[in-house]
Amino acid sequence: MKNRTFHQARVSSREFVNPGMVEIVLEGEGLGDYPSTGIPDEFARLYFPNNDAGLIRHPDIPVALGQKRERSVGPCHSEVYTIRSFDRVKRELVIDFVVHKGGKASTWAQGARQGDPLVLSSPHGMYRPQTWKRKQLFLCDATGIPALARILETLPSETECLAIIEIADPTHRYEFQPSCRLETVWLERSGNGVAPGRLCEALHSLPPARLPDYVWMAGEHKQARAIRRHLRQQWQLPCERYAVAGYWIEKRAEWMAAWKDIEPALKRRIETSWSSGRDREEIRDEVDAMMEEAGL
């Protein structure tokens, strides 16, 4: 069945890039018209098979990837992942999953077998440097490595890049194939749910001469918030010169429980702020402050 928004795929192969990352190659007819944006950090929502039924349920895919009808399939897990690469001719799409404890998506990837089904949403990207391309700074933890790797493969040779990357273990270093000039700083046994993150500290210690034209950051959401604040308040960067995203939430279950329990009045203020239609970055400043007030 053809679907404009969601794309059906199957696992073609699984390979460990290193002990901290597993690479899944997906294939299938449903990828023939996959609307890749070409933005190198593009990401999609992945819908994983329901553990009980082995099928995927989604409102826009009425017949699941098997014999049974959708109404017989319970809810399925979904998460957002980066499209590491996409080959339209081969109808092949690659996703790199970080290995971490307790994650349904991560566990699925580690055990994925040829033929296992997966559904993807259409992708979006956020990395869009405009004219300030010469010196770029990248900060991320392991979840940002797939996007960073793809970005570095697209940049012109004269671009000077500094990438500061925190990883759980020295064996999780990644072999980039940059088309630009690249200096890499690895922060080992740092962040990634195994230790306090050190990306903010690394950012604060950069000498003024290293100030970049464009900054891209991806990682745990509290670090992302602190880094974004530093870029806006200390470095006074306009929003066209940075892209910062919280890719995951540490101790997510506790965080969700705390979010559920926050004062209804504060929740209303947050929701009102998001729907106010004002400048998005100003809203984000306001919401970040309110979330911090709530300890989230």
Ligand X SMILES: Cc1cc2nc3c(=O)[nH]c(=O)nc-3n(C[C@H](O)[C@H](O)[C@H](O)COP(=O)(O)OP(=O)(O)OC[C@H]3O[C@@H](n4cnc5c(N)ncnc54)[C@H](O)[C@@H]3O)c2cc1C
Q: Is 192 in the site for ligand X (CB under 6 A)?
A: yes
Site for ligand X in 263-292 (CB under 6 A): none
57 near 75, Cβ under 8 Å? yes
Quote the CA–CA distance of 82 and 248 in Å, as a whole number: 13
Would you state the structure tokens that stand for residue 104, as one six-digit string?
A: 């349904």
Q: Is 90 in the site for ligand X (CB under 6 A)?
A: no
Q: Is 242 in the site for ligand X (CB under 6 A)?
A: no
- Figure out which of the listed residues 102, 111, 208, 295 binds ligand X, where binding follows CB under 6 A: 102
Quote the CA–CA distance of 96 and 281 in Å, as a whole number: 30
Binding segment (CB under 6 A) for ligand X, from list 7-15, 79-87, 203-211, 262-270? 79-87
- Figure out which of the listed residues 139, 198, 248, 284 binds ligand X, where binding follows CB under 6 A: 248
**In the bound complex, what is the minimum distance in angstroms from residue 89's beta carbon to ligand X?**
23
Q: Is 143 in the site for ligand X (CB under 6 A)?
A: yes
Quote the CA–CA distance of 183 and 168 in Å, as a whole number: 20
Rounded to a whole number of angstroms, the CA Rg of the chain reads: 20
Q: Quick one: 90 or 251, whose CB is closer to ligand X?
A: 251
**In the bound complex, what is the minimum distance in angstroms from residue 84's beta carbon to ligand X?**
7
Question: Other C-beta atoms within 10 Å of 97: how many?
Answer: 28
Report which residue type is found at 220: E
Q: Quick one: 102 or 208, whose CB is closer to ligand X?
A: 102
Would you state the structure tokens that stand for residue 45, as one six-digit string?
A: 């929502």
Q: Quick one: 40 or 129, whose CB is closer to ligand X?
A: 40
Q: Quick one: 80 or 262, whose CB is closer to ligand X?
A: 80
Q: Quick one: 47 or 214, whose CB is closer to ligand X?
A: 47
- Figure out which of the listed residues 123, 146, 178, 197 binds ligand X, where binding follows CB under 6 A: 146
- Figure out which of the listed residues 23, 96, 116, 288 binds ligand X, where binding follows CB under 6 A: 96
Q: Is 216 in the site for ligand X (CB under 6 A)?
A: no
How many residues does the structure list for the chain?
A: 296
Q: Is 82 in the site for ligand X (CB under 6 A)?
A: yes
For ligand X (CB under 6 A), the number of binding residues is 26
Q: Is 127 in the site for ligand X (CB under 6 A)?
A: no
Q: Quick one: 104 or 278, whose CB is closer to ligand X?
A: 104
Site for ligand X in 43-72 (CB under 6 A): 43
Crossing angle of the two packed helices 280-293 and 264-274, in degrees rounded to 10: 170
| Contacts of 237 by beta carbon, 8 Å cutoff, 6+ apart | 215, 231
10 near 28, Cβ under 8 Å? yes
Quote the CA–CA distance of 46 and 233 in Å, as a whole number: 35
* Phi/psi-derived region of residue 247, left when phi > 0, alpha when psi is between -120 and 50, beta in every other case: alpha
Q: Is 105 in the site for ligand X (CB under 6 A)?
A: yes
Quote the CA–CA distance of 232 and 237 in Å, as a whole number: 5
Binding site for ligand X (CB under 6 A): 43, 79-82, 96-98, 100, 102-106, 143, 146, 192-193, 245, 247-253
